[in-house]
Structure 1
Amino acid sequence: MPVTHEVFNQAGEPPAHDAFTGDAALLEAVSAFGAGWAAPHLAAVGARIGSPELRALAREANRNPPELAAFDRFGHRIDEVAFHPAWHRLMGMIRADRFHSLAWTEPRPGAHVARAAVAYLWGQGEPGVCCPAAMTFAATAALAHAPDLLARFRDRILAPGYDPRPLPPAEKPALGVAMAMTEKQGGSDLRQTRTTATRAGDSWRLTGHKWFFSVPTSDLFLTLARTGETISCFLAQGWRDDGSRNAVRIQRLKDKLGNRSNASSEVEFDGLEAVMVGAEGRGIATIIEMAHLTRLECALGAAALMRQATSLALHHAAHRRAFQRALIDQPLMRAVLADMALEAEAALWLALRAAAATDAAARNPAEAALARIIVPVAKYWTCKRAPALLAEALECHGGNGFVEEHPIARLYREAPLNGVWEGAGNVICLDVLRALTRTPEAAAALAAELAPARGADTALDALIAGVEAMLERPESAEPVARRLVEHLALALSAALLLRHAPAAVAERFIAARIVHPALAFGAAGATGGDADLLARAAVIPDACPNA
């Protein structure tokens, strides 16, 4: 067969790289927020994330999604989920990297920031395995309301190993934890929970359904059920102590837009054996402490997707030529890429500041109050910006980005997920408004966080003043809650960049997002500094050779 063409002018696979030490902004943020001591561990994680091995495993895990086997061939109910070997390999890696445990096992300041950096790196690798790791991490907050249960399971929840065997928790050295809250009729409105719990000696039996239950093969999971007129929180084992499957009937696995390597399911509870966590009737308040941490995870995950998409776009633009020039040498493309890099960096600083507030919350009441605000603000804004940036990054690749073989297509399908997980946009905005209008400490902590930025730029001062004006009339703030949270996110991002990032980055952000904002990346009209922004964002080697 004759050769009709040769392959050239294709970017090719990115080379192996360290996604931590090559990321200037991430290095600076980790140091600024007190986690510089974790740099050796983060460098090891970064090298793993930038490796061809991990890229191949992520591709295989998504090409071969989990499969449900509700019954065996003889008709016995088994409710098993079969995962591709790539999934199990990735799960072993993410637990070894202490995604789920670093915040709880390092007794020093900055532990939550270090763990957030691990999450940020893994969000660039394979978001599917981030879900079970994040739930396992966050479960500790809810289990703190049941000290006996926490003492019983803590060491194995935080163990660095991975054990997928379907066995009772007592027989396993490492445990994964999930949560199952939403029901068909309720969604984010957990007060509409209809699952019921009846007492059975020292435990309870739960009957009902859950509309979204990710990782239904988990060893332990937290859930909600009604005890009379009120809603309580419960912990259930996936397998009973006698080795039998607990009463979790997997009805089907969700056929999802993205996050395909991960198993999300619809389940029925038919007399599920469980124990109560926290006070009876305080279920939503108990489990929301877990949800607060997973909302932080959404912000980190969205920021990670923006970082990875920008990296891939830079790599492509540096190695693709059109109209006699490399794409990255063309002024309009440089403006687009620089704007994407600016957005990704701002998202990183906002998410890691939220992690820093979470880290200091137990030691500093003002930081605890700030965490109450900045976590949902970061969750809302980064999750809104990620789909737009991923669409732009896909467009940077042209038709190559629109085929499933390319990782940018998988990232694009992943981008909307964090916006709906743990509360969609309106729910999050109302939560921010509730905290600001009902918790004076939170409003005061926010004002203190923004205070150092006052006077640095007249446009930023006007933005902050506008936020304050909206809050002066809380009774009329709900219709404009999205604008309020958007302006808070912009003000916080600008303040963080002014304090920690190079001056040129902060000035460019204020110009492009506050002074002359635009609807499309690269259209804000901010000029100057493209080369520095692109060089700063070039995590992948040779992604910006001419910056």
Structure 2
Amino acid sequence: MSHSTHEVFNQPQPLAGYNLFTGNRALQDALKFNAPRLDAAPLERLGALLGTPEMQSHARLANVFTPQLRSHDRFGHRVDEVEFHPSYHALMSAAVGAGLHGTPWAEATPSPHVMRAAGFMLFTELEPSILCPISMTYAVTPSLRANPAIYADWAPKLTSRGYDPRLARWSDKPGATMGMGMTEKQGGSDVRANTTRAESDGSDAWGKRFRITGHKWFFSAPMCDAFLVLAQAPGGLSCFFLPRVLPDGSLNAIRIQRLKDKLGNKANASSEVEFDQATAWLVGEEGRGVPQILEMGTMTRLDCALGTSALMRQALSIALDHTAQREAFGKKLIEQPLMRNVLADLALESEAATALAMRLARAFDRRDEPHEAAMARLLTPIAKFWICKRGSHFVQEAMECLGGNGYVEEGGQGVMARIYREMPLNSIWEGAGNIMALDLLRALRKGDSAAAFAHELAPAKGAHPALDRMAVALPQRVEEMATEIEGRRLAQDVALSVQAALLYQTAPSAVFSAFCESRLGGTWGHAFGTLPAGTDFDAIIERAMPR
């Protein structure tokens, strides 16, 4: 007769089999505010798909079985290919099928950028790292218009919802993805220090052709079908279109040196490459590479803010679901007063991040309107800086809600460890904190920024004294700022003010009041879980529950 040594009890079930969209009230209300005519049915379907155990399994497998570089075949020929687990391709197929890459540039639907932003956030909750080529395709597609011939050939493939992982000619595939190659080992964010050179090689149907020789220090998603890269042409630093497979079907001279061993972002292949007389075509004018890169950076920075907001939401959802099941000291964790303070504080941060990121997406839909164009310039560095800066601290606190189980990689709760390793990435990629603060200062010196901010904050005027005080003080602080030394503090305060004004318009009064009292009114400590006793914890936590 056998006897079990122990019985497993009081261990929560993983958060699975739920709809990521219908359980996210903050995202739903942000959509109603920023895109009232938008049909949310596709997001409901996507939210249901992404919450399934099957898709969660794909996310786990794509991170456990990481990409592998195959530089040569068994006969010694260079192939420069990266092999992925089948789950990676399943995830890519789902992301492309949901239109998270280039479709906003082709589909004449209401608020396509807001729709795509919401879908991007939902997918990030499932698995963020495969979205790197998705984000880059979104960012570079409009830049190709500077070469009409290439745009005419490639745009239909880049906006197609068909995914094909083969290394083949663009014309032989139902859809394509693109990447970017900007930074070099000696320059990093200072792309003007690039040494990769471009030598003229005549012209053809795609325009001026060049031979590219040099290297790129960070070259993510090297299996994309083509890349926009920076190189020094005779006329200065310029932007070039560089396909993996040339029009004649031969492989281009892109030599993958190694894959980066990163802290997180494991399912995505990030590489170092060298170009050995690789063939490329000029996009735009010679010497105008930096402005083109800045325009692409604006798009990817939106995705950094969206991605971190989504990871916050995922970490919060797991923490809420876990504490609603787990008992300690005679009652559920979620019923314990200190835990309630932590969970409510995290919920405030998550909703404020969602509100700001989705507001920025709205600006992309309406950039032909002067105010929205101004907000796109101003909110991009603000959202990228502040939301991404909050991410790592946020997920550490959410992980603590799970105790030791949150620190373990395996199983359903192992998702929290994966989020934690992913969180610093969006703060670093596409311009770290100091770059964002400098971008904000540059944007503030263009046009009437004070008037644009005043217009943005006006709907919440008189709603809370702490917000009113901040709104009055900000223009003077901008005017009196003689150096960049306080740029980060300014970015923080502008972000908090805009978040508060948005929450006044999209969230219940309990959320707005608690956010202002804590973030702007000074009734907050230096850690999550320090909200004042008068906070409506019940209303805030109930609103944030994932199911």
Distance in 2, Cα, partners of 1:391 & 1:18? 25
In the other structure, the counterpart of 1:45 is 46
Matches within 5 A, 1:13-412: 13-34=14-35, 36-202=37-203, 203-228=209-234, 230-362=236-368, 364-405=369-410, 406-412=414-420
The alignment partner of 1:5 has SS state of coil
Quote the offset at 1:445 in angstroms.
1.9
- Cα RMSD for the two superposed structures: 1.3
Distance in 1, Cα, partners of 2:355 & 2:146? 31
Distance in 1, Cα, partners of 2:48 & 2:102? 20
Query: TM-score, normalised on structure 1?
Result: 0.96
Task: State whether structure 2 residue 425 is matched by structure 1 residue 417.
Answer: yes
| Contact in 2 for aligned 1:246/1:272 (Cα 8 Å) | yes
In the other structure, the counterpart of 2:536 is 529
Aligned letter for 1:165? R
Number of aligned residues: 537
| Contact in 1 for aligned 2:341/2:531 (Cα 8 Å) | no
Quote the offset at 1:80 in angstroms.
0.7
In the other structure, the counterpart of 2:206 is none
Equivalent in 443, 452, 457 of residue 450 of structure 1: 457
Quote the offset at 1:442 in angstroms.
3.9
| Contact in 1 for aligned 2:100/2:134 (Cα 8 Å) | yes
In the other structure, the counterpart of 1:472 is 479
Quote the offset at 1:229 in angstroms.
6.0
| Contact in 1 for aligned 2:241/2:282 (Cα 8 Å) | yes
| Contact in 2 for aligned 1:231/1:284 (Cα 8 Å) | yes
Quote the offset at 1:365 in angstroms.
1.7
Distance in 1, Cα, partners of 2:455 & 2:182? 35
In the other structure, the counterpart of 1:544 is none
| Contact in 1 for aligned 2:180/2:220 (Cα 8 Å) | yes
Instruction: Give per-residue Cα distances to partners, 1:63-118, cap 9 Å, x unaligned.
Output: 00000011111111110100000000110111111111342233244111111000
The alignment partner of 2:160 has SS state of coil
| Contact in 2 for aligned 1:213/1:265 (Cα 8 Å) | yes
| Contact in 1 for aligned 2:38/2:110 (Cα 8 Å) | no
The alignment partner of 2:40 has SS state of helix
The alignment partner of 1:400 has SS state of helix
Instruction: Give per-residue Cα distances to partners, 1:403-450, cap 9 Å, x unaligned.
Output: 11111000000000000110000000100011102x124443222111
Distance in 2, Cα, partners of 1:85 & 1:333? 40
Task: State whether structure 2 residue 463 is matched by structure 1 residue 462.
Answer: no
Quote the offset at 1:45 in angstroms.
0.8
Distance in 2, Cα, partners of 1:38 & 1:392? 35
Distance in 2, Cα, partners of 1:442 & 1:119? 29
Structure 1 residue runs without a partner (length 5+): 542-547
Instruction: Give per-residue Cα distances to partners, 1:244-270, cap 9 Å, x unaligned.
Output: 221110000000001100000000011
The alignment partner of 2:485 has SS state of helix
Q: Cα 1:255–1:35, aligned 2, differ >3 Å: closer, same or farther? A: farther
Distance in 1, Cα, partners of 2:431 & 2:39? 31
Distance in 2, Cα, partners of 1:22 & 1:36? 21
| Structure 1 stretch displaced more, 391-400 or 221-230 | 221-230
The alignment partner of 1:261 has SS state of coil
| Contact in 1 for aligned 2:93/2:162 (Cα 8 Å) | yes
Quote the offset at 1:397 in angstroms.
0.8
Instruction: Give per-residue Cα distances to partners, 1:445-495, cap 9 Å, x unaligned.
Output: 22211122222222112222332222112423x100000000000000001
Matches within 5 A, 1:3-18: 3-18=4-19
Distance in 1, Cα, partners of 2:56 & 2:384? 26
In the other structure, the counterpart of 1:427 is 435
Quote the offset at 1:526 in angstroms.
5.5
Instruction: Give per-residue Cα distances to partners, 1:176-230, cap 9 Å, x unaligned.
Output: 1111111111111111111100000110011111000111111011010001362
Distance in 2, Cα, partners of 1:316 & 1:3? 26
Instruction: Give per-residue Cα distances to partners, 1:27-61, cap 9 Å, x unaligned.
Output: 11111111543311010111112111111100000
Q: Cα 1:70–1:526, aligned 2, differ >3 Å: closer, same or farther? A: farther
Distance in 2, Cα, partners of 1:124 & 1:26? 13
Q: Cα 1:372–1:271, aligned 2, differ >3 Å: closer, same or farther? A: same
The alignment partner of 1:204 has SS state of strand
Q: Could you tell me the percent identity over the aligned residues?
A: 49
| Structure 1 stretch displaced more, 33-42 or 187-196 | 33-42
Distance in 2, Cα, partners of 1:474 & 1:15? 49
Distance in 2, Cα, partners of 1:247 & 1:40? 44
The alignment partner of 2:11 has SS state of coil
Aligned letter for 2:135? A
Quote the offset at 1:370 in angstroms.
1.0
Distance in 2, Cα, partners of 1:421 & 1:526? 38
Distance in 2, Cα, partners of 1:480 & 1:216? 38
Which consecutive segments of 4 or more residues in structure 1 shift more than 6 A? none
Distance in 2, Cα, partners of 1:219 & 1:526? 55
| Contact in 2 for aligned 1:222/1:235 (Cα 8 Å) | yes
Distance in 2, Cα, partners of 1:306 & 1:292? 22
The alignment partner of 1:127 has SS state of coil
Distance in 2, Cα, partners of 1:458 & 1:430? 29
Distance in 2, Cα, partners of 1:489 & 1:328? 30
The alignment partner of 1:479 has SS state of coil
Q: Cα 1:224–1:411, aligned 2, differ >3 Å: closer, same or farther? A: same
